[in-house]
Structure formats: structure tokens, C-alpha cells
Structure 1
Amino acid sequence: MSLTLPTRARSSAALVLAGVLWGTGGLAGSLLGSRAGLHPLAVADYRLLVGGTVAAVLLKGGTFPRTAAAARRVLAVGGLFALFQASYFAAVALSSVSVATMTTIGAAPVMVTLASVRKFRRWTVVSVAGTVAGLVLLQWSPGEPISFGGLGFALLAAAGFVTLTLVTAKPVEGLEPLSTTAFGCLAGGLLLLPFASWSGMAIPLRADVLAVVCYLGAVPTALAYAAYLRGLADAHPVLGSLSAVFEPLTAAVLSAALLGERLSVTAWCGAAVLVAALVVGYWRPEPR
């Protein structure tokens, strides 16, 4: 028991760390877009290319796929990474970091539930209804127009993330999870490169811009996924499942502190309802 508890604690801490690091990705991407004048496609491409390189080289996720099944998996993951990241940063540009992140992360469990649950039990219905109500309140503020473009891209990002989760649920022989992430990011970056190049990928060679590029690829991408994969095996079931809540909360706090984004009272109520629904969804007392 003395060995099991510390292992679980470290794994749970790794998952919480992953959620916090993911929560800084939208902020870093927003800063890169504004300081370098980049289109969301270019921001997403820098994240995938730099993150994949860091994961493959520095984090030793470089076991190259050697079978046809592994290559197909990497290509599929790459396409979904490209869709997810491009849509997410488009949502950030059209709305805000906090709203885009909360909408994407909040909508994902609903989509997973609708895709996987055969019988809707009481707590499942509560979670789905709460999530939908939270998203409505989050997007709607009295006297302010709703960014339907931001909402649409956030939902598209959530769909990409959910599909990515479902595709990678079944492992492929000879392809480790970190290798899947590393080469999936690189494949996604290469697939996105023609479109990102068309939008313009040139950046000013200034220390602040280069630092944001490196941070975006290394910390909320490579390190966050490494921490997440590290924590999956032995995490405490409650803390592990609730770690997803830390991503939107981190994004909301940092965007308010550093970007001056302010949510209305209605939006904060929506965020509270959304977080509560996420907690219920990840820790429902009834079987699926």
C-alpha cells in the first residue's frame, strides 16, 4: 500500500498538470497570432510541427511506425490533429480564449456520450443537459451578439477531439502512445502546411515571438501530452477523470489576467454550470 498510493498520487498529479498545461495553449496561440500577425492556420501549424518535433526528439517518442497499420493510424491521427487545432485557434480568433476553450472542452463529453452511451441513465441526462445549458449561458450575454463563427469552430474542434479520442482508444501493435502523438503532430503539421503557407507563416525574428513559438510547441503540446500519457496508467480514478476541468479553468484565469478578457455574469454562470456538468459526466455514480 505504501508503494501504491505514491504512484497513484504522482499519476494523478501528472494528469492535473496536463490539464493546466493544455489550458495555456489557447493563450500562447493567441499571443503568437497577435504578435506575429499570423492566421489561425499558421498558429495551429507551428504548434503541431514544433510539438511533434519536441515529442519525437527530446521526449524520446521517436519510434517510427514500421507497419502499414501503424502508418495508417499516424496519418489518421495527423488529419484529426490538424482539424482539431485549426478549428480551435479559429474559434479563439473569432471569440476569446476562455469561451473557445470552455466550449470545446465542454462539448466534447456530450459528443462522446451521444456516440457511446446506449441507454441514457439519470446522471447521464443531468450531465448532458447541464453541459448544454452551460454552453448556452457561456455563449449568450445580454446586449452582446453571439459569435456563431466562434461557436461553430469550437464545436468542430470538439468533434475533431472526440473522433481523435475514439480512434486512438484501440492501440496498434508496434506503436506507442507517445510515438502516436509525436508523429501524429508532425503528420498533421505537414498536412496543414500548404494551407498555413498560403495564409502566411513568416514571423518576425524577435526573442518574444520565438519564445512563444517554442513554448506553444513544447509546453502545452509535447509536455502536456507526455504528462497525460504518464498519468493514465495509475491515476486515481476521481482525480484522473476530473483533470479535464483544469484546462478551461486555467484558460479562463490566464486570459483574464494577461489578455484582459472579461466574461459577463451570465457567462460566468454558464462556466460554473459547465464545470459542474463536466464533474458529473466524468464521475457519474451509475454505469454507462
Structure 2
Amino acid sequence: MSLVLPTRARSSAALVLAGVLWGTGGLAGSLLGDLAGLHPLAVAAYRLLVGGGVATLFVLLKGGALPRTPEAAKRVFVVGGLFALFQASYFAAVALSSVSVATMTTIGAAPVMVTLASVRKPQPWTLVSMLGTVAGLVLLRWSPDEPAHLFGGLACALLAAAGFAVLTLVTAKPVEGLEPLSTTAFGCLTGGLLLSPVAGWFGMALPLHADVLAVACYLGAVPTALAYAAYLRGLADAHPVLGALSAVLEPLTAAVLAAVLFGERLGVTAWCGAAVLVAALAVGYWRPEPR
């Protein structure tokens, strides 16, 4: 027992770190798009390319090598494709609906999909945590001004949720010779290369200004390379359902940062949603689904 608890604590800390860092990515991506005049798909491509490039450089400097086995190469290609699918579908959902609807649907649906795919009979505490997560996201992101005809946006958001769910389930099973950081590095780079032809259609010219380059480096290094490396590290010793639930820290962190840094006021409903989210996550970490 003394060996299990520290491992679980480290995994939980890694998943929490990933969720919080993802929450800064939305603000950084929006800032990069505004500063550089980029289409959201171009922002997504740069996010993966820069993140993959930074992580790959770090891996090589540590003495790491490219995937050498067919299993490792296949895993990198699959992860890269899922990264590209998740990013493209999410930003398509944003364009067809709104940031609130896209985020709420994607992050809310992913834990449900992971649970249905990985657990035959979910424990009561898992169901309570999932229901609380969905309810908290609705309260946090709900707006009475959202249009009702959002079928296309909802469909793309559900596709993004499916991509994230599959990514969570696939990477929960390690491949020999491929560490979480290497998976992140080569996967992000592959995803960025897959997205670039589509993003290039909308224009990917990046102004060589100090502020633009600084934001692009932060977006790639912190909420992408570091966050996904922490996420994949946490999944190595945690149940995939717990990993998917940790993703809800992204909109929670983004909402709090927007309120603190930009003076965006959160209403009573939003603060209630934040409280429900924290409680739902606490239940998930307190009573995790057994592996």
C-alpha cells in the first residue's frame, strides 16, 4: 500500500497540472490569433508544430531517439492523427457555434465516452462525478444568448470529444521504448504537419514580432508540450476516466483567469458551476474507478 499511494498521488498531480496548463492555452491561442491575424486552424497548427518542435528538441538533447519499432511508429502516427482531429474539430465547432458551446460539449462529452468505452459497470461515485462534471460545465458556460440552431457546431464538438476520448484510451496503454514526453513530441509534430495543408489554405504567415513570437512559443511549450507530457505521464498510473475528468480543469482555469486578468465578471450561475466542477473532480480523485 505504501508504494501505491505515492504513485497515485503523482499521477493525480500530473493530471491536475495538465488541466490547469490547458486552461491557459485558450487565452494564449486567442491572443496569438489577434496579434498575428491568424485563422483558428492556423493557430492550432502552430500550437502543435511549436509544441512538437520544442519537445522533440528536448528529447534529442536528453539523448532520446526517433521511434525505432513498428509499434512505436504506429503509436506516434495514431497520436498525431488524433491531435489533428481533436484540434480541427474543436475549432470547427467554435466557428459554427461559439467558444462556450464548443468547450462545454467537447469537455463534457469526453469523460462520458471514455467511461462507456472502458468501464462495463461504472461505480456509483464515477457516475456522480460525471453527472456533476456535466452539470458544472453547463452552469459555468451556459448563456441565455446562445442561438438554438447549433447542430453543426455540436456535431463537430462531439467529434472533438470522440478524438480526445480515443486519445485518452490509446495512450493509457504504454508502448515499450516510447515515453510520455517522446509520445507528446513526435505526436504533436505529426499532428501539426497533418494540419498544416488545411491551415495553409487560410494563411499561416506569422509576423516576426517579439510579442507574437513570445506568445507562439508559450502556446507551444507550456499548454501543449508540457501539458500533454504531464497528461500522458499521469495516464500511465491512473484510470482513463480520471484522465478525461481532469480535462474539465481547462474551462475552469480559463474562466478564472479571464475574470482575474481581463475583468470578465462571472455571474452567480457561473460561480455555482465552478463550485460543482471542483466538487465533481474531488469525488473523481477521492473514489477513482479501479484499473
Q: TM-score, normalization: structure 1?
A: 0.81
* More deviation, 131-140/152-161: 131-140
Q: Is the 8 A contact 1:141 1:264 kept in 2?
A: no
Match of 2:215 in 1: 212
Q: Is the 8 A contact 2:171 2:232 kept in 1?
A: no
Q: Is the 8 A contact 2:41 2:88 kept in 1?
A: yes
Aligned-partner residue type, residue 123 of structure 1: W
Instruction: Name the % identity.
Output: 82
Aligned-partner residue type, residue 32 of structure 1: L
Q: Which 5+ residue runs of structure 2 have no aligned equivalent?
A: none
CA distance in 2, matches of 1:227, 1:86: 22
Match of 1:250 in 2: 253
Q: TM-score, normalization: structure 2?
A: 0.80
Match of 2:111 in 1: 109
Report Cα offsets for 1:5-37 as digits up to 9, x if no partner. Answer: 999877765544333222111111111112212
Q: Work out which of the residue numbers 75, 79, 82 in structure 1 matches 2:81.
A: 79
CA RMSD of aligned residues (A): 3.5
SS in 2 for 1:58: helix
1:144-183 correspondence runs (5 A)? 144-145=146-147, 148=150, 151-183=154-186
CA distance in 2, matches of 1:8, 1:170: 16
Compared CA separation, residues 270 and 145, structure 1 to 2 (3 A)? farther
SS in 2 for 1:63: coil
Match of 2:31 in 1: 31
CA distance in 2, matches of 1:5, 1:273: 26
CA distance in 2, matches of 1:5, 1:171: 21
Aligned-partner residue type, residue 132 of structure 1: V
Aligned residues, how many? 284
Compared CA separation, residues 69 and 240, structure 1 to 2 (3 A)? closer
Deviation at 1:68?
2.1
Deviation at 1:75?
1.0
Q: Is the 8 A contact 2:130 2:245 kept in 1?
A: no
* More deviation, 196-205/271-280: 271-280
Report Cα offsets for 1:35-89 as digits up to 9, x if no partner. Answer: 2121111111001111011111124475211222222211111110011122334
CA distance in 2, matches of 1:10, 1:169: 16
Q: Which 5+ residue runs of structure 1 have no aligned equivalent?
A: none
